[in-house]
Chains A and B, each alone.
Chain A
Amino acid sequence: MASLGRRRFLSTAVLSGAVVGATAFGSVAPEQAMASPGPELDPSLPDPNFAEGRISAITGSMLVVTGSDRTLHRIHVTDGTSLWKLRPTTFDAIKVGDGLYARGLKLEDGTLAADSVWVNIVNLTAHIAAMEKDVLHLDHHGDRVVGHVVAGTTAAVYNDTPAVSDLSLLQVGKHVQVIGAWRPDTNEVDIATVFAAA
């Protein structure tokens, strides 16, 4: 299904579509979800359904990832995988050298079928050292990080109120938390959301 057609179908489904398969599908009550037990995990072992590292190769829809502990992960990306790189994105935005966190299901052949992949995501607590047009200079525990504001994407959350695109309440010297996408091998990030007091 073409992307545009699919979007139209999904939009219609949520706002006005007729429910055809409700009885076949069964109940979606929360009790039903809890009734199917998840796999037992050994607390002493690493979570098998999680992977992190830097992408060393991309073959077809498979990401070959070297973990920070040198573990080699092979990660399948499917149509159903959510990909994040500053914003929800598509497979072609992923490049060799990017870092990632992935969550999914470990298959029998050792590969991970990814449900969600977050590329280059960083979570920084810092304070604003300086500001200029489209740039926040962040002091991250003594290290300087350059935060790029991406018009139309960067959002600000002030005092836990709903996110807005207005960044004009940010102040130099104030503490912030930044969720963003790292630009690999630099001290620069593109900012997705900045949390601040105002």
Chain B
Amino acid sequence: MVVVVVIVLAWAGCVKLFGPARRTALDRFVGRFAYRLVGVVELVIALALVVPPFFVAEGVAATVLSLGFVAYLAYARRVRPESDCGCMGGKGGPIGWRSFARAWLLVLSSALAALPASPLAMLGVLLVFVALSAELDRYWLLPLRRLRVRLSHPLAGLPSGVPLAAGVEQVERSGAYRAVAAFLRSDVRETWTEGDWRFLSYSARFQDRSATVVFAAPTDRFAPEDVQAALVDEATEETLWRFTPVPLAA
């Protein structure tokens, strides 16, 4: 099992020592120098483990170090839960159950470092390390999810229709809107469709009088130039003004 511990510690040590220094929860009381220092300690222990002979003290050192990681994670989660753990460099995201599971797995592997293990078992443990490392998701999890979406898109086959946002955009790009925009007081108050038209009503105010502006936008085409508008007084049911699109002169 010592091989697993060596690989994980060497990997973690290298990214800490040679990668960009990450902002972690430790910044607060030891500064970023400590981040590099932890990398050095990890590499030294990994080197000691890999160079024969194997002393029990080396396994104990690795176990103590990984217990320290668990303590650090618990501290970081309490003090700055949104921070990246910085364990393996990269972007691991906030500290969650995966970070803790990985740290405990390292504790366990270090404690059992002296035990012989078959190559298959070691490969298995290493794969679990990879699966628990959010920093590596983009190399295996993201491509898998992309593949799954390419095979069958989960959001395909939704009912089709012209959404309200398309109607609002037609209105806001129209000549009718430019003519009355200064009097509008509200956002879209109500919207409904009838035949090939989507209607949108807004509250308006002009000369100390409350009014309603209603726009009609075509639903069968995107044509802001065809948007029509009327300014009405709902109390008296009078149409006070109407905007009819004028075709551009040739």
Residue contact B234 to A1, C-beta cutoff 8 Å: yes
Given contacts A21-B238, A132-B154, contact A13 B169 (CB under 8 A): no
Give the number of residues in B that approach A within 8 Å (Cβ atoms): 67
Query: Which residues of B line the A interface, CB within 8 A?
Result: 82, 84, 91, 93-94, 138, 142, 145-146, 149, 153-166, 169-170, 178-180, 182-183, 185-192, 194, 197, 199, 201-203, 206-207, 210, 212, 214-216, 222, 228-234, 236-242
Residues of A within 8 A of B202 (CB): 82
- Distance to closest chain A CB from B101 (angstroms): 17
**Complex Cα gap A151–B159 (Å):** 7
Residues of A within 8 A of B169 (CB): 162-163
A-B interface contact total, Cβ < 8 Å: 185
Q: A13-B242, A149-B155 are in contact. List 5 more A-B contacts (CB 8 A).
A: A17-B239, A22-B241, A82-B202, A116-B186, A166-B158
Residue contact B182 to A164, C-beta cutoff 8 Å: no
**A-side interface mostly:** mixed
Query: Which residues of A line the B interface, CB within 8 A?
Result: 1, 6-7, 9-11, 13-15, 17-22, 24-26, 28-30, 33-34, 80-84, 87-88, 115-116, 118, 129-136, 139, 142-143, 149, 151-155, 157, 162-168, 170-173, 192-193
**Complex Cα gap A118–B214 (Å):** 20
Residue contact B232 to A13, C-beta cutoff 8 Å: yes
- Distance to closest chain B CB from A119 (angstroms): 12
Residue contact B142 to A173, C-beta cutoff 8 Å: yes
